[in-house]
Amino acid sequence: MSFPRLFFGDFIVISFFNIIGLLSHYSLNQIFNVDVLMRTIVPYWLAMVCVFFLKKFFDRSSVFLIKKFFFNTLQYWIVIFLVAQFFRFFIIDSWSDPVFYGITFLIGFICISAWRLIFFLLLFNYKSNN
């Protein structure tokens, strides 16, 4: 398994996480509105592209120790979350409610951790079979 797969999996998981959040607040027709997408999904995409170039979060040596792997996942999510909120601030020119930040951080971390746990287990299953 290659590590760009980890990034693309992160990208898909964070996109689904945002789409689920959109569906809980907007109707299906409204989530495809460019203004809504600019305030929600686009800041996370921009943050992920910026963070992708920080190779520390996709370091091969960190994958073989579960403690280091999940510590990197926490650091990765904190950086993406903060960078995305700054992009979001510059796009909509206002800060959100602190409750929004707490819920978004917690649920997003659960989603990204679940995906990365699956990746971790599949990687070890793949390595043990070869």
**What pLDDT sits at residue 81?**
93
> What type of residue is 86?
F
Nearby residues of 105 by Cβ (< 8 Å), 6 or more positions away: 77, 81
**Counting every residue, how long is the chain?**
130
At residue 111, the pLDDT reads 92
Note the pLDDT of residue 82: 93
CA distance 117 to 27: 32
Q: Write down the pTM of the prediction.
A: 0.79
Helix axes 66-92, 98-129, angle to 10 degrees: 140
39, two tokens: 């305030």
The CA distance from 88 to 32, in Å, is 17
Q: State the pLDDT at residue 91.
A: 84
pLDDT of residue 1: 39
Contacts by 20-25 with C-beta closer than 8 Å and gap 24+?
A: 21/104
Q: Token match 């971790």: residue?
A: 120
DSSP state, residue 93: S
Q: Do 115 and 13 form a contact (C-beta atoms < 8 A)?
A: yes
Per-residue pLDDT of the chain (130 residues; tens, 9 = 90+): 356 777 888 899 998 988 888 888 776 677 677 777 788 888 998 998 888 777 666 655 555 666 777 788 888 899 999 999 999 888 887 777 889 889 999 999 999 989 888 887 887 665 556 5
CA distance 57 to 42: 21
